[in-house]
Amino acid sequence: MKPLYLASGSPRRRELLTQIGVPFTAIRADIDETPLDHETPSAYVERLARGKAEAGRRTLTGEEGCVLGADTAVVLEGRILGKPLDQADSQAMLMSLSGRDHEVLTAIALLDGERCESRVVSSRVRFRPITEQEALAYWASGEPRDKAGGYGIQGLGAVFVAGLEGSYSAVVGLPLCETAVLLGHFGIPCWQTLNAR
Residues with catalytic function? 71
Q: What angle do CA 51, 4, 190 make, to 5 degrees?
A: 120
Q: What does R_g of the chain's alpha carbons equal in angstroms? A: 17
Gap between the Cα atoms of 95 and 87, Å rounded = 12
Gap between the Cα atoms of 183 and 48, Å rounded = 19
Beta bridge pairs of residue 22: none
H or E element, residue 43? helix 41-58
Determine the 3-state secondary structure of 140 from DSSP.
Answer: helix
Cβ pair 151, 138 in contact under 8 A: yes
DSSP state at residue 148: G
